Amino acid sequence: MIAHINGILATKGTESVVVDVNGVGYELFIPLSTFCSLPSVGESVSLVTYTHHKDDSICLYGFLTPEEKGVFTLLISVSGLGPKLARNILSGVAVADLLGFIINEDKIRLKGIPGIGAKSAERLILELKEKAAKFDMVGTGVALRSTGGVAGDVVSALDNLGYKTAQAEEAVSKAKETLGDECGFEELFKESLRAL
């Protein structure tokens, strides 16, 4: 099994990339979250990979972070959920958000992710809730997200404005320290923007 690939980014697209490793081009299928953080073509890149074996082919899936790969492997452990759908799910939602939705049994938000219907949302919660709660997401703020409520909503709003998740979570934490736990969305959102 190929665990990671280091090389030169030969081509990149929203669906896949080709990484040149000493003259051999490896095609890796990627989620949009990885695509958005890739360097320019011709620059060096390092991707953690998942090797998927089928009867007639071997496909490589690439991720910029071990956390993305970890959640990808969690998703494909769900019955009836294959690697293509898992990649699409990761393209539609941040890793920390997805885990938070599963932990909090938030079926409405799960159903809002492309490719997930009512039955899939229930299956994700049923099969992954315990695993998601134990998932190691050091530095990605799942603890903050999993509490849900106002803090999670503010982090999501900041994500939508283009701030990186880690920055948004740090700003919200600082804002909560300043304002206290009983603050409302608007107040917390403004204070978080000041912190950024």
Do 46 and 71 belong together in one domain? no
Do 100 and 121 belong together in one domain? yes
- Find all residues with CB under 8 Å of 138, minimum gap 6, and list them: none
Say if strands 58-63 and 24-29 run parallel, antiparallel, or are unpaired: parallel
Which of 85, 100, 134 delimits the end of a domain?
134
Residue 140 lies in a domain: no
Collapsed DSSP state (helix, strand, coil) of residue 87: helix
Residue 127 lies in a domain: yes
pLDDT at 43: 96
Please tell me the distance from the alpha carbon of residue 49 to that of residue 99, in angstroms, as a whole number: 20
Q: What is the CATH number of the domain that holds 154?
A: 1.10.8
Residue 6 · residue 46 · CB < 8 Å: yes
pLDDT at 169: 78
Domain that includes residue 9, residue range? 4-63
Residue 125 · residue 132 · CB < 8 Å: no
Residue 2 has pLDDT above 80, yes or no: yes
Do 76 and 128 belong together in one domain? yes
For the chain, give the percent of residues with pLDDT over 90: 36
Which of 92, 108, 134 delimits the end of a domain?
134
Residue 80 has pLDDT above 80, yes or no: yes
Domain count, the chain: 3
- Find all residues with CB under 8 Å of 177, minimum gap 6, and list them: none
Residue 20 lies in a domain: yes
Cα 42 off chain centre by = 25
The tens digit of pLDDT for each residue in 123-155 reads 999 999 888 877 755 434 444 444 456 777 787
Q: What is the CATH number of the domain that holds 106?
A: 1.10.150.20
Residue 181 lies in a domain: yes
Residue 142 lies in a domain: no
Burial class, 186, CB count within 10 angstroms (exposed 0-12 / middle 13-18 / buried 19+): exposed
The tens digit of pLDDT for each residue in 7-32 reads 999 999 999 999 999 999 999 999 99
pLDDT at 155: 76
- Mean pLDDT value across the chain: 84
Q: Give the DSSP per-residue string, 17-80.
A: EEEEETTEEEEEE--HHHHTT---TTSEEEEEEEEEE-SS-EEEEEESSHHHHHHHHHHHTSTT
Which of 63, 98, 113 delimits the end of a domain?
63
For the chain, give the percent of residues with pLDDT over 70: 92
pLDDT at 40: 95
Collapsed DSSP state (helix, strand, coil) of residue 190: helix
pTM of the model: 0.66
Tokens read off for 153: 């909503």
Residue 85 lies in a domain: yes
The tens digit of pLDDT for each residue in 37-65 reads 999 999 999 999 999 988 788 899 999 98
Q: What is the CATH number of the domain that holds 55?
A: 2.40.50.140
Cα 136 off chain centre by = 13
Do 42 and 56 belong together in one domain? yes
